[in-house]
Structure formats: structure tokens, C-alpha cells
Structure 1
Amino acid sequence: MPLQDGNNQMKAALHEEIGKPLSVVNDVDLVGPKEGQVLIKTEYCGICHSDVSVMDSLDLTPMILGHEAAGIVEEIGDGVTSVNKGDYVLMTPIGPCGNCEMCILNRYTLCERGQSFVFGTLPDGSTPFSWNESPVYQGLGVGGFAEYTVLEERNVVRVEKGIPLETVCLIGCGVQTGVGSVLNTAKVTAGSTVLVMGLGGVGLSVVQGARIAKAEKIIASDPVKERRSKALKLGATNVIDPDNDDLINAVMELTLGKGVDYAFDAVGNSELIALGLTVSKTGGSTVIVGAPPPDEELKFPSSLHLMMSEKRLLGSLLGSCNAQKDIPLLVEYWQRDLLDLNNMISQTYSLDNINSGIDDLRNSIGIRSVIKIHET
């Protein structure tokens, strides 16, 4: 399994210390696929807010982050049947086993085996990466900020050969998360009213999911003007600048004092979650889609009010998606022009310049940066 120059070393961006930029190195070792595993040449990988959250809070190092990835199958292990060498694939952080209690209940993102993505390893506890003879953790289940990665077959979804991987890579996380939170978690109904707070890649995917669900009013809120403009292009009916407008008053005015049927926090911010509970109508739902910091506490509005109004607070992990079913569906939506991915990609950077893309995300510049992993 020679990757370059007859050896198994490759270029990768390493998370080495909390709060520090990633280190791009050329000598990460990789072991080939074992039974049931797939070796993938990673072509493109989006930068997700979750990557930055890990960089700022998780002392599990060294680690290769990147989980919104697409590539081409290089080699398959024994027993792999769903993909072959040369196939174009999307990768997903959670590959449901189909056999555990949660999978049987169709709660695929809660799959017991799939939770290994939290610990930076494959389900068997191993990692395919090492550096200076020490293990390298596989961040968020994929390890896409590297020239190659190894995943279990269930974390790999074959797509049409020749499809633009630089575009559809977004489906692996941000689009699954956003659209899935609407269609799978909240089950938004036609004719309903929706509020989306935060208009990065996930939030704009929520907007598009609400449009696909035929919501009648889609209210989008973000302090960045460019993002509000994108939201209108992608299906929002109204936008709010929370820095200059009172969000609660604006939402109540747009809904004739009733509030929204569904409120989505696409940032992972406890204040926005509380706002969602405040502006959702009687019997309405607030959905936590963005990943809050691990130590962030949630302060509820009046608990009695929540009880009396039967409002619901829902968590949504990766859009409650079953990747093997939902990724092909999302690709189909894109092919049918029901899902706009091009308007969500702002910049493309080389792997050497990955920290520029991370800085863009931190500073709310653009929507989504995509990393081109190989130089040629």
C-alpha cells in the first residue's frame, strides 16, 4: 500500500495543542485497511465549526481533524462489498451498525458502535494514523485533513463517478446536519413557520431544509449581512439583523404575535436556545443543531411556562441521519436543484494553507471553506 515515494507516509494537518493553529507535516504514517475497512484518497474536506470547537477545547492530541470529506477509494479490506477501488465516495462521522438497540429504533446517529467518533478512534479502539511512532487520533470519526484515511465500510457512501467532490463534500456533515434536523429531527410540516438562528454552513442548510419541507415562512437571523443575503437566495422569506433589531419583537411581529412552529439554533449558543424557547409558539419546538461548548449550561425561560405550553426542546446529532440512506437522497436533491451547494462555498484553500480557512471561520468570513487536499 505505498502512498508516496514507496512508503506509507503522507501529509496531514495535526491538532497538537488547544487553541493553537494546526501543524502541517509530511510524515504521518498510515496502516492499510483491515477487514471491513476502506482506504480512501481524500480529495476535498470542508472546515466545520465542530473542528474549531475541538481545537479550542479538546486535549486529545495529536489528532487529524476534518470530517466533511470526499475522496476516491484506493483499497478495500476483506469483506467489503459496497465499494470498490476507484469509486467516488463521501465520508460520514457516524456509520450505523444496524443491529444495536438504537439502530433498531431507527435512531441511527445514536448507534452504540458509531459513538467511537467522540473518542477519536475506529469502533475497535484503534487508529490508522501514527506520527513519530505515537498514535494519532482520528478526529470526529473521519480524519479528513490528511491525504488518505481509513474508515469502516459503513462510514463510506458511494456516489456517482465524476461528481464534483469539491462541492458535494459539504453533504458529509454540514448539509446532513442542517437539512436532516428539519426533515428527520423536527419533522417540519408544510405551511409551518420556522426561525433559523445562525447562518453558517449548517444554518443555511437548515434554511434549505425548511424550503424543501415547504415551510410557509422561513425567518433567518445572523449579524453578518452577506449571510443574510445568502439566506434569502436559498429560501428564507425574511431576515433579521440581531445586532440592530430586537429578535423577539421582530419574530413576534412577523408571526402576528403567535411565535414560530420551529426554532433552530444553528450556532450552539445557550442564549439562542433560550430565545428559541421564548419565540416558539404554544406546542412549538426548539432544536439544538449547532454544537455548544462542552461546559456551557442552558438557562431556561420559566419552567412553568414550558410545561403549560407543552413546548419541546430537541437535540439533533448529524441531523438524525442514516448516512447510507440520507446521503444519496441529499445528492439527489442537489442534482435536482432542490439543494444549492455552490452558494455555500466561499473559498478553497490548499492543505498547506488550512489555517487561513480556519481563521475565516473564526472571523465569520464567507460561509464555508473547502480544503483541496492534494496539490495536483
Structure 2
Amino acid sequence: MRTRAAVIYGLHTRFEVKEVELDEPGPNEVLVHLAASGICHSDMHNVTGDQIAALPMIFGHEGAGVVETVGANVTHVQPGDHVVMSYLPSCGTCRWCTGGQTNLCDLGAYTVLGPQIDGTYRFRDDEGTELGQFCLVSTFSEWTVVPGQSVVKVDPHYRLERACLVACGVTTGVGTAIYRGGVRPGDDVMVFGVGGIGMNIVQGAKLAGAKRIIACDINDWKLEQAKIFGATHTVNPNITDPVEFANQLTWGVGVDRSFEAVATPETIGQAVRALRKGGQATVVGLTRHDQPDIPINPSDFVLWQKTLTGSLNGGCNPRNDIPAMLKLWDSGQLNLDDLVTNEYRLEQINDAYDDLLSGKNLRGVIRYEWADNGVDTP
């Protein structure tokens, strides 16, 4: 079949929106008609070379849509079901899945290789070039074929142009605060970088009952937006030293939990230094794959007993946490609507990334034209 998709052919190039050929789903696979896809910075890391993916590739990993057909052996979804993508598939049988860490499933190794799990490709252009699928899902295509392990069925009353956000940004941010960061009622929390992920860390910290939530960013507009999502204090590091700000606010003690969503060595070091004794810093921002070091004094970990940890997809189990976070949206405890600054057509994808990189968006969303007349009635 034919579908429109946004393709990256090489490093430091722009998206090319074109019609490409898409195969039917094979065994254990699902054909999905995408309604919407979020614009996430993680894709761009692979375009700039900060992370390594096999190009050419169709990117996009934060998607939601409607199942069109299913391949052999797929029983948990059927045509007409509304689904949200999981950009980290889980096999359910490896050491990590059986241990409750499905976000670390061995299938995650396939997310940047290009082909599907069986080693073959589903997309190709008119010249016959095989096109890889980012995170096995490629949501920057109106139609896509994905592993059955990569779709999570959701209630059809959720608006898919907002539900797509829980495929990555919301689960990663909220999960990082609650699961990986372990925010507890009464904690003082500091979030370095309040873009699409950091803003959801703010939401997660509020949901967990944090007392003070300090948003740190060089973008004053984002700092104002952070107050909508639960930030009690804001600081611009170009004006005020954020570590000193945290110390003053906590009477010299430091914050209980800090989160780094900027992905620079400097801000990781600040996140550690802002901690109290026994505090924990959690890194969720993607630095360069070859980043050699970060400016941290090892004595902090011994004499102050601080902890530095990482977070992949917030430590979430997508099959459980995607529906759970949609319920929190339903009940008004999570704010998805204000996360979306602008919506775009697929052919505007380069504009969408320009806006993201210039700091104009918390989240941009690609809306596919077929869904305009009501994604609730496929």
C-alpha cells in the first residue's frame, strides 16, 4: 500500500515528506492508521548524530491511531481498536520483563537498527531503498506496520491527538518523578529543563505530593508555563545560580530530589550539587553517545551519600502505565491539553522541529488529515 511519510536520508538533513510503499503486516504485527504523533527531541538526536541510528529512516515514536488489520498470532487487539504506541516493545519473557523492568526489554536493541524484529523492512521508497523504522513504529507516517508488542489498547473515548502524548513524553516525565526519582509527599524537588519531558516531571512531582517544585530553564516563557503544571518556584540560570537558589530556598539543606532533562554535563553536575545529604539526582536527558565525563566530585557520593541514577521511559510498564495515565488525564490530575503548544500537518514537520529547537513549543503534534472529522469514529 501507499502512505505519506517523513524520511531522513542522512545526518544533518531535513525531513523529506513523500509517498512510500508499505508492506502488509506479517505474523505478530499490526497495521495502524495514525491519527496523531508528538514531536519529540529524541528523534532529532539521531539526525544530528548525538545518538546513532541506521539511516535512511522514518522517525516518530509518540503516536496514537486505529488498528486497521492484524497479522497472524495477534490476539490482544483487533481492527477498529484505538491504540497508543509503545516505543519500547516488551517481549514478556526476557530477564528484564519477568523482573518487572519491561522498559529494559532486550527487544529495545532493535529500536535504532532499522528493520523489524525479523530482520526485514516494511517501508521502501520509489527507488527501492529500504527505509528503517525508528523504535520499530515510525509514527511520522500516516500508516505504519509495527510489532504487536508495540501497541497498547486504550478506551476509544480518549482524543487520540492528546492520547499520543502518553506514548513517550508524559510516561517518561511522570514515571521519572514517581518511579525512578521516588518523589514522596513533602519532598523538595528541582527540575533542570522544563521542555516536553521536564514539564511532565513537574506534573509527576506535583502528583506525588512534593512541597516545593523548582523549575530551572533559560527560557522565561517555559518557566511561566511550568507554573501551570505545578512549579512553585522558578529560576533562570542565566540570571541566578540554580544551586545557590536551591540552597537558599531550603535554608542551606538542598533539595531531596533533582531531575536533569537538559542533557548537558554542566546541568547534570548542578543537579547533583543541588541535593541535600542522601538526596537523589535522576538523569533523563540524552547526552551525546560519546560524552566522556561530567563535572561531579566523587566525594559527594561518599561524604554526602548522594545518588545519581538514570531513567529510561520513566521506568514505566507501558501496558499498565499508558492506560493509567490516561485515567489521570480523565480525572483532571494530569494536564495534557496545555502541553500542546501547536499542531501541524505532516508536510510542516520541518517547521515543527524548528519551533521545538527554538524553544517555542512544549509539545508540537502532527495531526493526520483523516482524523479531523473525529478520531472517535474510525
Give the TM-score normalised by the residue count of structure 1. 0.95
SS in 2 for 1:194: strand
CA contact (8 A) 1:270 1:297 kept: no
Q: Of 215, 219, 224, which aligns to 1:224?
A: 219
Q: Of 38, 53, 59, which aligns to 1:46?
A: 38
Q: Quick check: 1:118 aligned with 2:112?
A: yes
Matches within 5 A, 1:1-376: 8-26=1-19, 28-57=20-49, 58=52, 60-131=54-125, 132-374=127-369
Gaps in structure 1 of 5+ consecutive residues: 1-7
SS in 1 for 2:14: coil
Following superposition, the deviation at residue 373 of structure 1 comes to 2.7
SS in 2 for 1:119: coil
Following superposition, the deviation at residue 59 of structure 1 comes to 6.0
Following superposition, the deviation at residue 282 of structure 1 comes to 1.0
> Which residue identity lines up with residue 252 of structure 1 in the other structure?
N
CA contact (8 A) 2:96 2:102 kept: yes
Instruction: For residues 31-83 of structure 1, give each alpha carbon's deviation from its aligned partner in whole angstroms, at most 9, with x where no partner exists.
Output: 11111111000111011010111111146221000001011101011121111
Question: C-alpha root-mean-square deviation of aligned residues, in Å?
Answer: 1.3
> Which residue identity lines up with residue 106 of structure 1 in the other structure?
G
CA contact (8 A) 1:223 1:243 kept: yes
> Quick one: distance in 2 between partners of 1:144 and 1:36?
18
SS in 2 for 1:55: helix
Instruction: For residues 111-139 of structure 1, give each alpha carbon's deviation from its aligned partner in whole angstroms, at most 9, with x where no partner exists.
Output: 11233113233222233211222211101
> Quick one: distance in 2 between partners of 1:111 and 1:52?
23
> Quick one: distance in 2 between partners of 1:251 and 1:123?
46
Please identify, of 197-206 and 158-167, the stretch whose mean Cα deviation from structure 2 is larger. 158-167
CA contact (8 A) 2:254 2:275 kept: yes
Please identify, of 205-214 and 105-114, the stretch whose mean Cα deviation from structure 2 is larger. 105-114
> Quick one: distance in 2 between partners of 1:290 and 1:120?
23
Following superposition, the deviation at residue 332 of structure 1 comes to 0.6
Q: CA 1:98 to 1:224, structure 2 compared with 1: closer, same or farther past 3 Å?
A: same
> Which residue identity lines up with residue 21 of structure 1 in the other structure?
R
> Quick one: distance in 2 between partners of 1:124 and 1:262?
41
Following superposition, the deviation at residue 199 of structure 1 comes to 0.7
CA contact (8 A) 1:274 1:301 kept: yes
Give the TM-score normalised by the residue count of structure 2. 0.94
> Which residue identity lines up with residue 9 of structure 1 in the other structure?
R
CA contact (8 A) 1:188 1:210 kept: yes
SS in 2 for 1:201: coil
> Which residue identity lines up with residue 239 of structure 1 in the other structure?
T
Please identify, of 353-362 and 266-275, the stretch whose mean Cα deviation from structure 2 is larger. 266-275
> Quick one: distance in 2 between partners of 1:59 and 1:122?
14
Following superposition, the deviation at residue 305 of structure 1 comes to 2.5
Following superposition, the deviation at residue 274 of structure 1 comes to 0.7
> Which residue identity lines up with residue 91 of structure 1 in the other structure?
M
CA contact (8 A) 1:287 1:315 kept: yes
1:3 maps to which residue? none
Following superposition, the deviation at residue 297 of structure 1 comes to 2.7
2:376 maps to which residue? none
> Quick one: distance in 1 between partners of 2:117 and 2:264?
30
> Quick one: distance in 1 between partners of 2:142 and 2:321?
26
> Which residue identity lines up with residue 183 of structure 2 in the other structure?
V
Gaps in structure 2 of 5+ consecutive residues: 373-378
> Quick one: distance in 2 between partners of 1:164 and 1:20?
33
SS in 1 for 2:234: strand
Instruction: For residues 247-286 of structure 1, give each alpha carbon's deviation from its aligned partner in whole angstroms, at most 9, with x where no partner exists.
Output: 1111111111111111101122211111111111111111
> Quick one: distance in 1 between partners of 2:99 and 2:288?
28
Instruction: For residues 127-181 of structure 1, give each alpha carbon's deviation from its aligned partner in whole angstroms, at most 9, with x where no partner exists.
Output: 3211222211101332000011111112101111142111111110111110111
SS in 2 for 1:283: strand
SS in 2 for 1:94: coil
SS in 1 for 2:111: helix
SS in 1 for 2:26: coil
